[in-house]
Amino acid sequence: MKAYRIRDELNGIAEPPGKTWFWELEAGVIDADRCIQCGTCVAVCPSNSIGVSEDTQLPELVKMCTGCSLCWDFCPRGGFRYEAAWPPSTPVVGEAETTTVERDDPSDPYWRITGAAPEAGLGAVLESYAVRAASRPDGAQDGGVVSALLIAALAAGDIDGALVTRPSDDPDEPWKGVAHLATSAAEIRASAGSFYNQTMALAGLDLSRYDLPAKPKIAVVGTPCEIQAIRAMQSGAWSTGAHRVDAVVLTIALLCTKSFDYRGLMLQLLRDDRGVDIERVGKVDVIRGRMIVEYRDGEMAVDEPVKHFHGAALKGCDECADFLGRGADLSVGSVGSIDGWSSVLVRTERGRVAFSNARGRLDLRELDDPGALVKLDAFDRKVAFGSLRREFDTAAPLFIDYEEHLRTYGDTDRSPVVADR
Ligand SMILES: Cc1cc2nc3c(=O)[nH]c(=O)nc-3n(C[C@H](O)[C@H](O)[C@H](O)COP(=O)(O)OP(=O)(O)OC[C@H]3O[C@@H](n4cnc5c(N)ncnc54)[C@H](O)[C@@H]3O)c2cc1C
Ligand code: SF4
Ligand code: SF4
């Protein structure tokens, strides 16, 4: 079966024989508090059996699971590790121009976690700049570059829309980012800025409610985990149900060391514990190790070490070693450039076309501090390494204990056992 071949082609991580059911993803990832709310399981399910719980914003089964295994295989905290989408032959340009990684040692923890040796630098980079949009949209996080790139791609007819994150309309959810397909420059501008919550973004690849051409072309702006998953899903050919992974022609990764649970961060730690008036907030930023919250009138609401907010960070982010968004066409972040500018890594030819379309709308110069990117990447990998090492050492909750499972229940039909949990 296709799914099993895909699993074999992944990275040699111990997997159970035969079918893997949604309940196993639920036990090993969602209930174990390792889910990073990327929405990949929703997007990959060919029978549209997985939805997003309104209550928890986590994946839930909405109809029968067929045991096709794809949700497990493509979950970045389940069977998928992003080295599968990052070929060892990827050229490395720039600071660490040396690395060719042989995929020959599955016991090498760096390979298992990141798909490369620790000195793999910035990944594939064709061009890199510090960039600022000549006309920065209101609310832009840094240089307004992501919005400018998307507006230019739309104007050039290279995309019909962009999956971005806009503020929720729900008055009970102030400052919550929700995934949305923007199909006009005005919508892209209205979605500028960073929301420090994950949005189950790839569930938004169900494009059926939008008025789009029969063969739509869309861009996705996402955290690196979301971009890894898109690349992995695009590397195989099978039906992905309602979700149009095939329509994604441009990916922009936002550099990311961690994201947060919306309620934990915005409602509990900021509103309830610190008395922040969320309705008045104009910008939330995590920068230079600090959580900065500013009101729209410029008054500073919070300026504290980000570690004070780690209780609301997603636990699954600790395992992530891809700060730099290596799988994307373009990576954009604040680290490496002065305030008000964005660091841009152009990684692929598609990224180069998108960047040159937007060039007339951008001011650019050399990156101010490329070393800062390498340094934070190394730190991020170290955290991931430590976190996964602990998972491997304790053998839980990364994988269900299949040996024990088989001894107890036999090999014939595991579904009733799992369903009973
Ligand atoms: C959770 C998170 C963590 C980040 N961590 C870092 C970091 O550690 N270091 C660093 O250098 N940069 C980080 N960034 C990136 C940084 O905050 C800016 O997004 C980036 O510099 C682009 O700024 P800009 O002004 O060019 O983009 P803008 O023109 O402001 O556009 C930003 C785009 O990102 C989209 N977006 C906003 N929130 C999300 C989200 N949660 N998920 C997906 N898309 C979203 C918006 O809809 C918009 O299209 C992070 C961003 C996020 C969302
Ligand atoms: S991490 Fe992503 S793919 Fe895995 S269970 Fe959570 S939403 Fe689904
Ligand atoms: S830290 Fe990694 S896993 Fe967490 S949101 Fe960012 S890219 Fe995704």
Q: Which CATH architecture has domain 2-91+389-419?
A: 2-Layer Sandwich (3.30)
H or E element at residue 132: strand 127-133
Q: Are strands 330-333 and 342-346 parallel, antiparallel or unpaired?
A: antiparallel
H or E element at residue 25: helix 22-25
The pTM score is 0.88
Can you give the pLDDT at residue 97?
A: 38
Proximal ligand: closest to the CA of 377 = 1
Q: What is the pLDDT of residues 335-351, one digit of tens each?
A: 999 999 999 999 888 99
For ligand 3, atom 2: residue with the closest CA: 320
* CA distances (Å), origin 139, targets 128, 154, 344: 24, 20, 19
Q: How confident is the model at residue 383 (pLDDT cuts 50, 70, 90)?
A: confident
Q: What is the number of alpha carbons within 13 Å of residue 217 lying toward its C-beta?
A: 11
Residue among 36, 53, 61, 399 to mutate when testing ligand 2 (max atoms within 8 A of CB): 36
Mean pLDDT along residues 406-413: 40
Can you give the pLDDT at residue 283?
A: 95
Ligand 2 midpoint to CA 41 (Å) = 6
Can you give the pLDDT at residue 48?
A: 93
Q: Contact at 8 Å (CB) between 347 and 326?
A: yes
Can you give the pLDDT at residue 39?
A: 97
Determine if ligand 3 sits within 6 Å of the CB of residue 257: yes
DSSP conformation class of 347: -
Ligand 1 midpoint to CA 194 (Å) = 4
Report how far residue 362's alpha carbon sits from residue 53's, in angstroms, rounded to the nearest whole number.
40
Mean pLDDT along residues 194-209: 96
Q: What is the pLDDT of residues 7-33, one digit of tens each?
A: 444 444 445 556 788 988 998 899 989
Mean pLDDT along residues 262-289: 95
Can you give the pLDDT at residue 103?
A: 41
Whole-angstrom distance between the N-terminal and C-terminal Cα of the chain?
27
Mean pLDDT along residues 386-391: 65
Q: How confident is the model at residue 100 (pLDDT cuts 50, 70, 90)?
A: very low
Residue 351 burial (10 A CB sphere; 0-12, 13-18, 19+): buried
Mean pLDDT along residues 58-70: 91
Q: How confident is the model at residue 239 (pLDDT cuts 50, 70, 90)?
A: low
Q: Per-domain residue ranges for the chain?
A: 2-91+389-419, 127-384
Can you give the pLDDT at residue 237?
A: 61
Q: Is the pLDDT assigned to residue 4 strictly greater than 60?
A: no
Proximal ligand: closest to the CA of 26 = 2
Determine if ligand 1 sits within 6 Å of the CB of residue 331: no
What percent of the chain lies above the pLDDT cut of 70?
77
Proximal ligand: closest to the CA of 144 = 1
